[in-house]
Structure 1
Amino acid sequence: MSRFQKRGSRFGADDNESRSNRHGQAGRPLLMNENELEAFLKEKKSPFVLILDGVQDPHNLGACIRTANGAGVDAVIIPKDNAAPITDTVMSVSCGGASNTAIFKVVNIARTMEKLKAIGVWIAGTSDKAEKDLYSSDLKGPIALVMGSEGKGMRRLTEEKCDFLLTIPMQGAVPCLNVSVATGVCLYEIVRQRG
């Protein structure tokens, strides 16, 4: 018997079936009231937040929320307007992440960032203009990661409200990563540093 057969038998058909059933979970999103955000985060020992500043594609939004849940993010913050809404597609792509991660839809991202700072959360924004890279930045402690929209990135005011900016070092010809991939890279570097 080859190692592939052993591996297949180890995980079995039931595991594959169970995995496919988890993909495509619908459920209901864990939407929270914007006014509850500060109290919600104050209960956390070291808040870990993802801010998505205008992600437009529901597949990207779902993937970001899925990764946020996997990384142990306490809250995902998205704008009420000028962003993809939480649709069935988002729910499906999030694979249960949107049902198990607190999602706050806020009227004003910049104002919300100020509230986060007031409770001791540092805010790291991602930008091609950043002088510091992800791997040389201190990302431990209470932190919020800001990811911008596809194409345009963060809005000017959002960028100005960040405590510091960081970039993902690119080694090849492509100038940047898809927002959901970049979110995964950044969140798991934060997890590594906080670990």
Structure 2
Amino acid sequence: MEKNTTNIFGLRAIIEAIESGSSINKVYLQKGLRGTLYYELDKLIKTHKISTSTVPVEKLDRLSKNSNHQGAVAQISPVEFYDLEKIIEQTVDSEKTPIFLVLDQLSDVRNFGAIIRTAECTGVHAIIIQKNGSAPVNAETIKTSAGAAFKMPICKVDHIKDALFLLQASGIKTVAATEKTEDSVYKVDFNQPIAIVMGSEDRGVNPSVLKIVDYKAKLPLLGEIASLNVSVACAVFLYESVRQRTITNI
């Protein structure tokens, strides 16, 4: 498994990478691209729901180190992603009480890395992210995770809501971290199979996701600041689960 994010460039090279099943974080495209190869690539990007960004040619030059990028550079993930259904099945079949972490379009790679590190330390069985709109697993993510990204199973899904429905159908309760509730995190029973849902830095958990979770919980805030950094809030939720499960097992 690679330990550094790899950039590949050139329309044909990116097409072949996608067709071979490589895990693509994002494709950077030059504005105004045309031609047969571009349209073939565009079709693959849409089919596989790969995140894209239109950027100036100068950024493509930097990413490709001034090689002949043909207006396209792709960032390949340095880690392998796991199949969610298989991870759920394996975890449910094990003797451990399942705990999953669902990140609803978290966008900052350093927050992502810090969360991966905490999740690994607290026994989370897998992290679930959405293919589009989520922070990539890149070199910065891995550095911030202190290498935990190579140990923690990460699953990519098309839609967060579909992942939650699958978890619930497998007997796993879902709890969203949100201030839009009167219930405290300390009222949640973390001794049952559970998945914790954390929202994005700017808007929190999507309202459509809040409608389908089993529980909502918030952290008590006693100061004047209205919210915590998402990686800090996530750590509190995860360590409350550790506290409850540790007390139960004493």
TM range (shorter): 0.7 to 0.9
Counterpart pick for 1:39 among 89, 94, 97: 89
Give 1:56-75 correspondences, 5 Å limit. 56-75=107-126
Identify the residue that residue 193 of structure 1 maps to in structure 2: 244
- Please tell me whether Structure 1 or Structure 2 has the larger radius of gyration of its CA atoms: 2
Provide structure 1 residue ranges, at least 5 long, that are not aligned to the other structure.
1-25
The structural deviation recorded for 1:34 is 3.7
Deviations 1:100-144 (A, max 9, x none): 111001111101111111111110101111111011222222110
Q: How many residues align?
A: 170
Counterpart pick for 1:81 among 112, 129, 132: 132
The separation in 2 between residues aligned to 1:151 and 1:100, in whole angstroms, is 28
SS of match in other structure, 2:232: helix
Query: Does structure 1 residue 50 correspond to structure 2 residue 97?
Result: no
Give me the TM-score of the superposition, normalised by structure 2. 0.65
Moved over 6 A (4+): none
Provide structure 2 residue ranges, at least 5 long, that are not aligned to the other structure.
5-77
How high is the sequence identity, in percent, across the aligned residues?
Answer: 36
Kindly indicate whether structure 1 or structure 2 has the higher relative contact order, using CA contacts under 8 Å at least 6 residues apart. Answer: 1
Cα RMSD (Å) of the superposition?
1.4
The structural deviation recorded for 1:164 is 0.7
SS of match in other structure, 1:73: coil
Give me the TM-score of the superposition, normalised by structure 1. 0.83
- Name the one with the larger helix percent: 1
Give 1:1-195 correspondences, 5 Å limit. 26=3, 28-44=78-94, 45-195=96-246
The separation in 1 between residues aligned to 2:222 and 2:197, in whole angstroms, is 22
SS of match in other structure, 1:31: coil
